[in-house]
Amino acid sequence: MTRQLKLAFYGEGRSDYRFFLSLIRRTAQAICTGNSGEIDVEEIIELYPEKESASSERQRILYATRPYEGWFDILLIHADAGGSWEAAQQNHIEPVTELVTASIGCPVVGIIPVREMEAWALVDGETLRNVFQTNKSNVEMGIPARPRLVETKTDPKALLENAYQRVLGERVVRRRGERQRGTDFLGIIGQSINLQLLHQVPSFQRFEADLRSALVKLGYIN
């Protein structure tokens, strides 16, 4: 019998949802594959702050979950680390975990790229080549040669944009009258990125381990 795994996601901005939703679903499905029984990861519930919500971050997140209370098994939250995974975990994820656990009782898993989410988007040069429609090498695009190195870069968002501009060269691509940017491709990058390469990044390893622990706690996997 197939069990349904229901997840909810709260991001820092609109672009988070484009990149992380498919990545979360693929990661959860990969973790569950091979365990006893069939587990299907349903469409992820997107949580957004209410227009008139509390000023504190943890209260905003809690209020966003209320219309969906009982509809999901795990709450996932994105927080950029700004250089310190530990600080982001302590200042952003743990306070929410305490409040959500007391209120609705579900596990909370943080998604904390050490700099910005664009660092994870840089790990797979082959995906970028397919998405940007180019034959340029990692060196030619100006992205790290090895996945683990993405977390040593202080401005991964600029690196992603620079890679796209190098691909464009003198060409100008317009969409709705505006110049297209590298970050516009985050959705398809998240759908296509090689999870084995991403697994080499320490912050992704932590996310994967925390998600696995939550699934064990809930009895979805052993």
Give 193-205 pLDDT, tens digit per residue: 999 999 999 999 9
**What's the topology of domain 2-115+196-217?**
Rossmann fold (3.40.50)
pLDDT bin (cut points 50, 70, 90) of residue 59 is confident
Q: CA 34, 36, 37, 39 torsion: positive or negative?
A: negative
Start-to-end C-alpha separation, the chain: 17
pLDDT tens per residue across span 130-152: 999 999 999 999 999 999 999 99
3-class DSSP state for residue 53? coil
Q: Does position 210 have pLDDT exceeding 90, yes or no?
A: yes
pLDDT tens per residue across span 12-42: 888 999 999 999 999 999 999 876 568 899 8
pLDDT tens per residue across span 105-119: 999 999 999 889 999
Calculate the average pLDDT of the chain. Answer: 89
Cα-based distances in Å from 62 to 11, 55, 154, 165: 13, 12, 31, 40
What whole-number distance in Å separates Cα of residue 26 and Cα of residue 14? Answer: 20
Domain ranges, ordered by start, for the chain:
2-115+196-217, 117-194
pLDDT bin (cut points 50, 70, 90) of residue 52 is low
Q: Does position 191 have pLDDT exceeding 90, yes or no?
A: yes
